[in-house]
Amino acid sequence: MEIQVEVHTTLKGNGFSAIEYHEGKLFAIADNTEAIIELDKSGNIVEMHGDASQVEKKIKPDYEAATFISWKEKLYFMRMASGSTENRCKLSLIEWKTKEESIFSLSNFYAFYQKTANINLAEINIEALVFQKDSILIFNRSNNQMIQIQWEEFFHCLQNKIFEPKIHFQTLPLGTLNGCYLGVSGACLVGNSIYFTASAEQTDNWYDDGEIKGSCIGSFSLNHNFQITDLKQVDFKNEMGLIQTKLEGITCDDSHFYLISDNDELGSEFFRIKIDE
């Protein structure tokens, strides 16, 4: 897997946390605002959809993951809060045609996930989503666990605190980068393969930021038993070496991949790249 960086630019604003492609347009979200940010393929902001005011860290919604959902012949844009604290348990589901938004609490699902995976809320840090057929894949950065759940069961769990869905777990063995844990931070579906980003920073929890050590890009497939196959990853670098950025999201069209990063107080970046297998 080889990476060619064609466009690299600084974004206006910070906190960018996920990026999605739909019908020739790029849509990004940030962890410190309710807005959906429309970008062109060079990283320029085209339009801000919704309330673009920034929210301080201790009360921000912390939307870290997003995906488009096809459900009952309608298209939805879903944003999912990271977890880790009680106020970061919010899910936004926008019917894309009408832009009507419904808000749900993730408390039921996160409580069930804690019990099933034997972890606590502080160990939940949801960073990526992939909608695949009738299932949703949810990626937890804190343990690199990928959760697979039928979409209908997931949606039922949001509304019924006693309902326990069937879920499957797989762990991505990503290792370390520059001596720091590599945690999955973004994902997208390309054919039958899932491409992902992972980043490394010097911190001992999922609330405080740390020194950025770099990122990687990888891909894998899932067999009929939901087992990970063909896993590969490479460090995110250019001709000058490792790019010191914290990748947060990845998406693609027919010819390119598009990445966003969040470097905390240093701001966010946009990349348009090609990947040669």
CA dihedral 41, 44, 48, 52 (to 10 degrees): 130
Selection from 173, 199, 169, 171 nearest residue 260 by Cα: 199
State whether residue 73 is helix, strand or coil.
Answer: coil
Give pLDDT tens digits along the chain (277 positions): 899 999 999 998 888 999 999 999 999 999 888 999 999 999 999 999 988 888 777 777 789 999 999 999 999 999 999 987 888 899 999 999 999 999 999 999 999 999 999 999 889 999 999 999 899 999 999 999 999 999 999 999 998 888 889 999 999 999 999 889 999 999 999 999 999 999 998 766 545 566 888 999 999 999 888 889 999 999 999 888 999 999 999 999 999 999 999 987 777 999 999 998 7
Give, in degrees to the nearest 5, the angle at Cα 28 between 23 and 34.
120
Paired with 238 in beta bridges are 241
CA dihedral 254, 70, 229, 234 (to 10 degrees): 50
Paired with 190 in beta bridges are 193
**Residue 77 CB neighbours (<10 A):** 21
Q: What is the CA radius of gyration of the chain?
A: 17
CA distance 217 to 246: 11
pTM: 0.94
Please check whether residue 47 is in contact with residue 40, taking contact to mean a CB–CB distance below 8 angstroms: no
Tell me whether strands 74-81 and 63-71 are parallel, antiparallel or unpaired.
antiparallel
Q: What topology does CATH give the domain 2-276? A: Neuraminidase (2.120.10)
pLDDT of residue 209: 62
- Domain boundaries of the chain, sorted by first residue: 2-276
Burial 16-32 (b: 16+ CB within 10 A, else e): bbbbbbeeeebbbbbbb
pLDDT of residue 119: 92
In eight-state DSSP terms, residue 123 is: G
Which residues, including other chains, have CB under 8 Å from residue 205's CB and lie 6 or more apart?
Answer: 122
Paired with 70 in beta bridges are 75
